[in-house]
Each structure stands twice: as C-alpha cells, then as structure tokens.
Amino acid sequence: MRDPTTPAPIVEMRGIEKAFGAVQALRNVDLVLYPGEILGLVGDNSAGKSTLMKILTGAYQRDAGGEVFVAGQPVHFKSPHESRDAGIEMIYQDFALCGNMDVGQNIFLGRWPRKGLFVNRRKMYAEADSVLKRLKVDVNSVYQKVESLSGGRQQSVAIARAISFQPRVVILDEPTANLSVMATERLLETMLELKKQGVAQIIISHRLIDIFAVGDRVMVLKRGENVGDRYIKNTDEHEVLEIIVSGTREHALTADGARF
C-alpha cells in the first residue's frame, strides 16, 4: 500500500519490454517518477536508458504487455507530439536548434504567435524573454543568433523551448556532456529552478557527480533490466558505480534501503 503522505506518481512505467529483432533492449522494466522529483537514469552504453525514454515520449513503441501511466491515466503515445500534449518534453544531446535563427524564433519554432497573416514578433520576443527570466538563465538577447551562442547558452535555449510548452516532465539526455564547468553549474541551477516550479525531471547521464548534485533518486539499468533504485540521500557514488558494474540485484537496494 502506498504511503498516503507520498504524492501519486506523475509517470509510472510497468513491465516495459522492447526488442529490436533478436536484440532484447528492455526486459520487464519499471520506472516511477514523482511530481517535482529529479531522477537520475544511469547505466552503461547498452543499458537501455535512451530506449526507455523514447518509449515514454512515443518515439519508440513498446512491445506488448507493458503499461505506461501519466498522472494516473493509462497512455500509449504513438508520437512525441502526443507525449508533448500530455506534458512530457525531451531535450536531446544535439539540442535540435536552428542555428541561423535567433533565440526567440527557436523558442517558438513552428508555433510563432500570429497577428492576422503575419508573425506577431513583439509578442514572440516578449514571451521568449519571459520564459528565459522564469528559468533565470543568462542569454544576452532574444534577438541573438543561436549559432553564435556557447554550448551552455544553447542548452538554455533548448530548455526554454521545452518549458514554453508548460510541461510536467522534462527528460534531459546527457545534458552536461559537452559543457564547460561554468555552463554545467548554470544548467544544474536551472534544473533546481525547474524543481522549485514543480517540474519533474529525468536525467540520462554518465556523470554521477551531476546527478548527486541535484538529484533526489537514482535508477540503474543494466542490459535492459532495472537493477537498482536508491534515494540519493541513502547512497553514494561508490555504491551506484558498484551496482552499474555488477548489475546484480544482490547489490541493488530499493529507495528505502530494503533489498531490491
């Protein structure tokens, strides 16, 4: 029975399976994410992390038998457009920005506000500026071309675009992989700001130091299986690395410290 003081999950994935031909990418994987929580999703390169998240966002279709719930409602997204409508956004490593366009245009790409037949540029840039201020990110101007921005600031624009859709869940794929130390610090501050605003986040990352800096919980995948789930406050980087390497349930503990 669920503790009545614990909020209901915003996302719940049960028994997720996915095969690509003869390769079994995911085996009976469960995942739970709570409102406002930051969950680190870790494992080696073939663990199935991105596959699991692409199933959540509708980019991949799960095999028969698994279930996905968003805010308690069963869902089966056929495309990322459907998951976006349900409040789930994913930010990929390459940011998917148009470098020859400016910051404001990128934030509202494909849905520029209109005034009659024309783009309402004043409204677009005002709303873009508002989103950036809400995130407390440091971008010099909404009129600046994205290709002229540093990697860290491009990351901020990608997050601002995701937040402009008013998501309940944001998934970040290796968000600090190519960032400087200073840009990484700014990004982690932005993630904590999103947490304050009640946005749940999943970080796919090899950098445990970043997950331990902002995360609430860490989940380990190994060869397509969930082999560990711990609260950050109850573990350390050494133990999580041991779970990643061993991949055995004997070493994996649940969030409350009980054997997995």
Residue with tokens 């495309």: 79
- Please give the pLDDT value at position 249: 58
> pLDDT exceeding 90 applies to what percent of the chain?
66
Does 182 lie in the same domain as 60? yes
Tally the domains of the chain.
2
Q: Residue 221 sits in a domain of what CATH number? A: 3.40.50.300
Q: How far apart are CA 47 and CA 238, in angstroms?
A: 19
Structure tokens at 161: 């675009």
Does 48 lie in the same domain as 59? yes
Beta bridge partners of 222: 225
Structure tokens at 11: 């996302």
Answer for the pair 57, 202: CB distance below 8 angstroms, yes or no. no
Residue 15, φ and ψ in degrees, nearest 5: 60, 40
The residue range of the domain holding 137 is 98-166
Which pLDDT band, with edges at 50, 70 and 90, does 183 fall under? confident
Does 70 lie in the same domain as 152? no
- Please give the pLDDT value at position 3: 55
pLDDT digits (tens, 9 = 90+) for 80-135: 999 999 999 999 877 889 999 999 999 998 888 888 888 899 999 999 999 988 88
pLDDT greater than 90 at residue 28: yes
Answer for the pair 191, 160: CB distance below 8 angstroms, yes or no. no
* H or E stretch covering 173: strand 169-173
Most confident of 129-143, 216-230, 237-251: 216-230
pLDDT greater than 60 at residue 259: no
